[in-house]
Amino acid sequence: MKIVVFNGKGGVGKSTIAANLAVISASPLLDADPQATCCYWADRRGSNSPEVVDVSLGRVAIRLKALERAIVDLPGASVPGVHDALSVADVVLVPVVYDQATLDALPATLELARNAHRPTTMLLNRLHPRAHADGIVTSLAPLNVPICLTPVRERASHRDWWSQGLVAADFPDTDAGGDILQIWQWLQTQNYA
């Protein structure tokens, strides 16, 4: 499966989710963000699994087309190259933090995804561990974009592991890792590829 993780807003968890999905699915991770967040993470990881490829935004669509499966981390901006990358995705995954600034920017992100004519799904990130996702899912329904019913919860462990070159998916038996495992299992049921 080729999953392109995108939101025109920064700080919503694109890199965190992309790296987690690359680990849980044992897929190559294409880092097309000039900030190279996943490349720095891979440097700390000290392992070739997953393979993390430093790729320019201008070339990522071509690289992705040639692969059977991959996870792509894009920059948090609507810049040239994003459209082409979205256009070759099996699914565009849009992390959404439920705060006003992210919600204000969301229609622009979803418009870019719509223009790519690829299946798109939102994924709630940083949801409070005890918050109910149902109400939020309902409030996002008018956007008319599918949403994964399993959210990624706010957990400090995501930040701690990241600084060590690890991710929650390296620990699927933990609460944080369990979120990722469930999301990956759900994605596989969606017949995107």
Going by C-alpha positions, the residue among 9, 14, 24, 67 that lies closest to residue 188 is 24
- Given 61, 123, 126, 167, the residue binding ligand ADP (CB under 6 A): 126
List binders of ligand ADP among 52-71 (CB under 6 A).
none
The number of angstroms, rounded, from the C-alpha of 110 to the middle of its chain's C-alpha atoms is 14
Residue 125 contact among Mg ion, ligand ADP, none, beta carbon within 5 to 8 Å by kind: ligand ADP
Q: Please report whether residue 15 would count as binding ligand ADP according to CB under 6 A.
A: yes
Q: Residue 14 is encoded by which pair of tokens? A: 């694109």
Q: Please report whether residue 151 would count as binding ligand ADP according to CB under 6 A.
A: no
Tell me the residue ranges of DSSP E strands in 22-155.
29-31, 52-54, 70-73, 91-97, 120-127, 152-153
Residue 166 contact among Mg ion, ligand ADP, none, beta carbon within 5 to 8 Å by kind: none
Residue 130 contact among Mg ion, ligand ADP, none, beta carbon within 5 to 8 Å by kind: none
User: Using CA atoms, how far apart are residues 59 and 44, in angstroms rounded to an integer?
Assistant: 25
Asked if residue 84 lies in contact with residue 102, where contact means CB atoms within 8 angstroms, the answer is no
Q: Please report whether residue 45 would count as binding ligand ADP according to CB under 6 A.
A: no
User: Using CA atoms, how far apart are residues 65 and 1, in angstroms rounded to an integer?
Assistant: 11
With contacts defined by CB under 6 A, how many residues of the chain interact with ligand ADP? Answer: 17
- Based on CB atoms, which residue is closest to ligand ADP, 31 or 90? 31
Query: Applying CB under 6 A, which residues contact ligand ADP?
Result: 10-16, 37, 76, 125-126, 152, 154-155, 158-159, 162
